[in-house]
Structure 1
Amino acid sequence: MTTRVFVAGVGMTKFEKPGAIEWDYPQMAQQAGTKALDDAGIDYTDVEQGYVGYVYGESTSGQRALYELGMTGIPIVNVNNNCSTGSTALFLATQAVRSGTVDCALALGFEKMQKGSLGSTFDDREQPMMRHLLALAELQEFAMPPAPYMFGAAGLEHMERYGTTVEQFASIAVKNHRHSQHNPYAQFQDEYTLQEILESKPIYGPLTKLQCSPTSDGSGAAVIVSERFVEQHGLGDRAVEIVGQSMVTDMNSTFDDKSAISLVGADMTRKAAERVYQQAGITPDDVDVIELHDCFSTNELLTYEALGLCAAGDGGKLVDAGETTYGGRWVVNPSGGLISKGHPLGATGLAQCSELTWQLRGAADKRQVDGAAVALQHNIGLGGAVVITAYRPAQR
């Protein structure tokens, strides 16, 4: 027997440039976790399981992080799934509650990152992305660093197939930087013109520096509870229901398509989205607000199409028509997205969950999307995994 599942509380730290302030991951986790518990109006002793996500860190860092909230002997699971780590922790917490195993679980993610482009930690074994990189090198000449190479190559392919322009990709960064001006949690809160985006440092293909997410430190958390828990604690007026959720990993098509777009996860996103829409009984037209994985501006445009917001090849048209910002059909990344809010890998998925919870409560201040009633979250990690989650307010 399954049960309905709700987000009862959320919390996050401000995302910071690595080394900008003196803190360590236990302090980040304490801040985000305490905010989430306080938001739900519960104590850590109410939590029955913990799922803690991080990419860069030693084994059992999850225990060390949650010990800042209490030491109650509960099961604590360490989670690492590349850039989708935070939403994977959310996925596992949701599964535990939906199955009836527990009534209250805590999903928490954090990252304490090194400055500069992402690098490997263990160089005496094959890198998990090697198969993807070798496949892509057959399509586009290899370049470093790997992440902008992969997503830049996907952008080049989209331009070649559909005539998408560098201005359309850059306009996505203009939008997300503009959105972040009103987000006190964002690493950057500066607005840029299209020309400034285009003239920033070239990285790869259509990508310039201001179209790339930065490395970041920070943490996010969410309290996940059952319907029974909501009723027992009187949380109905602020709880947000998870009405659909799916995780998909790489399929044969990732490599068989001989496509950079497939190699960066478009097929995973498409399949997960179809499942979530079916579970939730919604279509893309029912969605009001979206937080999606804009690690690079090219990926935001590719994700428009994979989520079914438009047909393949029409992502640029959505940008030109202003359909993905305030006044358009959807507001995408009101938080500023990864590009401007920041991207501490383990925390990103839970920061997205926090933003959408605030939006559905009508508590997002100047970022508020009018009448937001259905929200969609997309978080992807290469190598690969995508998690998509749909939300509705518990009472509306």
Structure 2
Amino acid sequence: MSDKDMKGPATRLVEAGRRKDWTRGIVNPPVWRASTILFDDVAALRDGVKHPDDGLYYGRRGTPTQWALADALTALEPGAAGTTLHPSGVAAITTALLAVLEPGDELLMVDSAYEPTRAFCNGLLRKIGVTTRYYDPLVTGDAIDALFDERTRAIFMESPGSLTFEVQDVPAIARAARARGVVSLIDNTWATPLLFPAIAHGVDVSILACTKYIAGHSDVMLGSATAVPGVFEKIRKMGQGLGHCVSADDAFLASRGLRTMGVRLKAHETAALEIARWLEAQPLVAKVLHPALPGTPGHAYFKRDFTGAAGLFAFAIHGDDAARVRLIDSLDHFGIGFSWGGFESLALPIDPERIRTATRWVSPGPMIRLQIGLEDPADLIADLAQAFEGTAQ
């Protein structure tokens, strides 16, 4: 293990991606905006063509601004060969899958996956001849081995699921995949490598929607795929072939957000757990789904594998959709919108049962997903309390 890997995660957050040849003596890597790169002479141009990823070549290949972010994200995943950047989290997912799958292959996709991931599997992958088979996120033991067949080339995890929050036995699944030469991928956006270093747990590709906790301020669309040797190169080649690139400004904002992600995640965790436990005691609440709470599917794996919790969870209420709508519309401190991981709190109605196919999702009532931001938890609890009171009347 290198000295870089030996450093604690908070130290890596501060120091990674800040090479002196990129920062030029200042704290943050500057914003290098570029399309055209000028070469000193034709010989230099021809050398660049031979080694386009070894330095400045063309704007689409990046500048030190993008490289600094990629380097920092790689440092958070000990064992990784490198990180590719993409225009969104979905773009990172789709590029990684295209890089490791070919027509005639089979993909195993967790049934709790993010809906746009499912849409890609059921759409473009199907069109190019890749079969997707959905599996139970809580698969364990011998049932993991039984998932694979001779056509399986990749298995995709999302742990916890971003709607239903099941925590998977990722190490066992990754171990079974590696034994068969199957590439394992995970959407690790909820935990980030700070709370769950996926590659250290045996996964081949760790994918993040950097839009969320990495950037942290709801103002950037960005994705990343960090991978082991042999797979990283495939993803990089696929991303370049698809013309993927991210702006220097977005990369800079994500690098800046990365430095404070550790303290933000702790604040998200503390507030979310306080609110989740308060919700458990409310008469209108039928069920709280938070990976750190006993009773949430896969909680034992969370206790074993994770070093902390994030700020996203869900709960179900007693009542109907009209009651759910009244509750959400009554909230003052919670915005209504997609995404999460920013400094602001959000509330969103969710209906996971409509997209599940391999397993049946049964909720005791209409569900609401909460993103707990950085507001005072007491204010958020008071806001929820007044909304519950109005809904119950």
| TM interval, short-chain normalised | under 0.3
Q: Which has the higher contact order (CA 8 A, sep 6+)?
A: 1
Which has the greater radius of gyration? 2
Give the TM-score, by structure 2 length.
0.24
Q: TM-score, normalised by structure 1?
A: 0.24
